[in-house]
Structure 1
Amino acid sequence: MYSFLQRIGKSLMFPIATLPAAALLLRLGQDDLLGIPFLSAAGGGIISNLALIFAIGIAMGLAHDSNGGAALAGAIAYLVLTEAIVTINETIDMGVFAGIISGIVGGLLYNKFYDVKFPQWLAFFGGRRFVPIITAGVMTLVAAVLGYVWPTVQLGLDATGEWILNAGMLGVGTYGFLNRLLLPTGLHHVINTIVWFDFGEFTTASGEIVRGEINRFLSGDPTAGPFLSGFFPIMMFGLPAAALAMYATAKKERKAVVGGMFFSIGFTSFLTGITEPIEFSFMFLSPILYVVHALLTGVSMMIAYALDIRHGFGFSAGAIDYVLNYGLAENPLLLLVMGLGFGAVYFFIFYFLIIKLDLKTPGREDEDAEDGNADVGDQGLDVRAYHTIEALGGSENIKAVDYCTTRLRLSVKDADQVDEKGLKQTGAMGVMRISKTNVQVVIGTTVEFLADAMKKRLSSGNQPPAYADGQVAITPEEPVLSKEIIAGDFAMPIDGEIIPLADVPDEVFAKGMMGQGFGIIPKGETLHSPVDGRVVSVFPTKHAIGIESDTGVEILIHVGLDTVKLNGEGFKLLVEQGQLVERGDELLRIDWAFIEANAPSAVTPVIFTNLGEQQLHVLKQGNVRQGTVDVVEVR
């Protein structure tokens, strides 16, 4: 369930990215600011359709291939649900919760039916075209059930609201807690409607009767404001501090990616009081933080009530409304003091819990390389994929297949079912059991093609490969040929300090799972070919290059560690796959300042991946200039 919630949280990152701009447009267009309805309508177009946007985002995020067909299924699920449910009870308004349910149903149905097969006369409706059809049918049943169940939920909330309104400081605190806790479901609007627009009554100097906490405050009622004041410290200070804590705890290599987002949504919360961009960025990824946030909101409401602070807003509890309504407030400066205190509390609590519990807030997720799209048709690779799957415990034991530069990253049901010996017989260089459900298999530079072949086989149940003689066996290995590099044929690829492979701060490289080699602490800005040969692999993220020497030795140069996550930033590629190169030709230019700021290490392993039993001899240590020969030899 925790993993499932994390996937939902990640799915919301795309729609959340649109919210700061929408919030600013919506607020700036209000009558008390620029008074331009066009701006408000532009921003409101996004905010008012947030449930639909979430349905699309979640469905696409849950889809195994992020296909647009899943997004369409999520949208159809939402439209069916919201249109059908009001025919049973026209007072039902599920808010964002309708979008979340629709997105989950659409995404799961897509994964179940995206490749369904029908007879020839119905073939047009098979595959992805069937997903919207089945989604409409399922959501019709869901709407029928919720049409009768949801009113009971709303009645319970109404009763809770009546108690809150008459329970003094405890009621105010409970309202603040439930206001945030119910935000993911959209049910906070039910309580807000009662408090903001129905609670209490005040007669103005002109004899007009106004109702609700907001209307009474703006009309000058001296008793209005307790149910509004406590939001200002949270929205102006607390949540921006939470965003700062999430940025501070993000992985070093991810800070540049998430920093802009956190600044944007933090500033939006402070200025406008629109907090959903921050809250949705962590409520599913780390639910425990969201409960803490809801509790702190309740505490803020109670403290403001105890200090007899009375302030209010017409839109939300941001800096704009704080300034605009300052003249109507009582003790408003105390809110700034509270805000500074809550900012510190939010930062330290969030920082502590994220580090202590290793919570996967934005920037701390386990990000892997993007799926490749290589066309795998080679029979030998297909056979290897079959036996690799079997050694992993069979298709029923594999939940998900992904990969990075050299490793398969697998989610399995039971890591104990993985046959390490069998994997090595298929050509794997090493196996790492990360947990009971996560395994990594070191394959080498062909991992992309093997992963794609495995995915194709898993989609069809990993049927044994068929041959003319009906036998199933791994294709015979190619005879091992003697490969060599004489000392004068290999040149230092970049200025730097040569270190033993065992000192490279990465277990896979240091233990020689990828092959023999050495590490470089680089000092130059350009990577050169160390041998005469051919570029056999250039990774899409540009951080690693594979070269085959003219004597048959395969060399992998991996620039920095964990640099796959930089998505090519900091690298300028100077060659292309298949290109012939001579010793000393430029391969790659590197921005080391960027790499060192965003990756765990700049140490660059140079790995000889196909030596077999032959020994690599490293002839030099310490600082070596680029182009220097007599660095290594293989005989």
Structure 2
Amino acid sequence: MLNFLQRIGKSLMFPIATLPAAALLVRLGMEDLLDIPFITAAGNGILTNLGLIFAIGIAMGFAKDGNGAAALAGAVGYLVLDNGIASINEDVNMGVFSGIIAGIVAGMLYNRYHDVKFPDFLSFFGGKRFVPIITSGSMVVLAFIFGYLWVYPQFVIDSAAHWILNSGSLGVGVYGVLNRLLIPVGLHHVINTLIWFDFGSYTTAAGDVVHGEINRFLNGDPEAGHFLAGFFPVMMFGLPAACLAMYAAAKKHRKSAVGGMFISIALTSFLTGVTEPIEFSFMFLSPLLYGVHALLTGASMVVAQLLGIRDGFGFSAGLIDFVLNYNIAEKPFLLIILGLIFGAIYFVVFYFLITKLDLKTPGREDEDEDFVEETQQVGSQDSSKDDFDEKSYYYLEALGGSENIKSLDYCTTRLRLQMNDREKVQENKLKQYGARGVMKVGKTNLQVIVGTSVEFLAEAMRKRMQGGNQQPPQSTHSSTGSKTKQASCSLSEQAFSMPVTGKVLKLEEVPDQVFAEGMMGPGFAIKPEQETFTSPVNGKVIQVFPTKHAIGLVLENGLEILIHIGLDTVKLKGEGFETLVEEGQSVKQGEPLIRADLKEIERKVPSVITPVIFTNLENENITLHKTGHVTQGQTGILSIK
């Protein structure tokens, strides 16, 4: 049921995308701006036909391939349902529900009958042409049912709407908290649809009846806007202040890595009101903070309502909508003052909780982002390309293969999956491949937070699922650092020599949890005492990192080795490093690979300790024979069996 509701939430993104255009037209045509009534009427053409638009959008969202035939069926279904109900009982008003129901039914019928075949004399009506026909028939039955029975759920809905809309600060606060809490499961669009487009009614000067908080506010309802105003302080000030708190609390050596990200997503929230990039940055790393964020949103809604502030938006509560609707809002300047206050509260509360409880927000997490960046490059011959086809291969592998996926869908930022066996999913590998988080819903559902590029990744995954997930021809190993399966990766004591003079350490002594816990594979570490690093084996260079701080080698038996000079050295972008070999070059044991200015590097990073990792061992055992000071070229350090 949750998965079904999530599909509705995802499908609602289609019709919601029309709102900015509608709001802009309605606002521009009003007397205090351009004073051109037909422009306002044009915008209201969208707002007064949301049921039809929802039917089209949801039908497309439910259809397995988003085909236009499903959209047409949704439109036909809505018209049949709406007019059929009106002929039975004019007092029944399903609002946008009729569009939602028509869209769902049309989408499901499309999936079932889009390829149906009939005898030759009826073949014209087969396939996709049959979908609007059967949708019409289904809607006739539903129109009969709802025409007589919808009076009862309509009474319940009207009562709920009456309570929320007339409970003052309590109703507004409850909505604000639920609006944020439902984002992780993607159901916030459902509750938003009710509040924004259905609850409440207002008759315009022209005699048109409009429903929903957004429509009523834009058309001048003096009672509308209380359920929207409280979002402005949070989206324009609160969440950007949370970004500042997370940046201030980040580890010193990580600030430069996360600072640009925080500036970008904070500016996005301030200008447009799009907050998901910020919320996803801490939603899964620190759920406590997300709960606090939901409560603060509810508090902002309550305070704005108590102060008598009314404001609205066509897209989201950012600066653009704030400026556009300033003249028709009530006490809008108070939102700036309220925003500054909530910004201060967000900063203090977030910074206090992050530092005191050591919450793993970006820049403080154990699995640092540079680990993600680096593992995305290991073994890739062209890691600079945004190759969604290749990336989709590794995502499918980490999800347990194509056969483990029952259904694949996506919304704005996340993959939505139904799994046959969720235990086969390798969460750590998904994060290595760039996933920001993994969320389990119910018994079989899985959500993988990818980011705004999710659409391209999902489509690439679907193509691979249809054609078989064959390994990309340009790669013979994981482009994201996954372990390549080998029959045997043994290594004798003499086949491996010390790449640089220094102190040999056990891997768990590395002051970085990613390496210390073997997340990238087993191995050891070196505290180097000289600048030139040589090849420890006879093999081939499979990867020279663009930032020159690491190099990947492979032996004839397939064993892969990563030499990572220093910790957090990826941020140096090659400064202080000189590569002495090229990708694809064969090397002999003792041949120079990289020269590093250790004194210069050590001033800029936490440590020059160099992990040496075997990235594709599976059942083999690694034995470290020596620790302490060892000279370059010395053998007998370790063996693998």
* Structure 2 length-normalised TM: 0.49
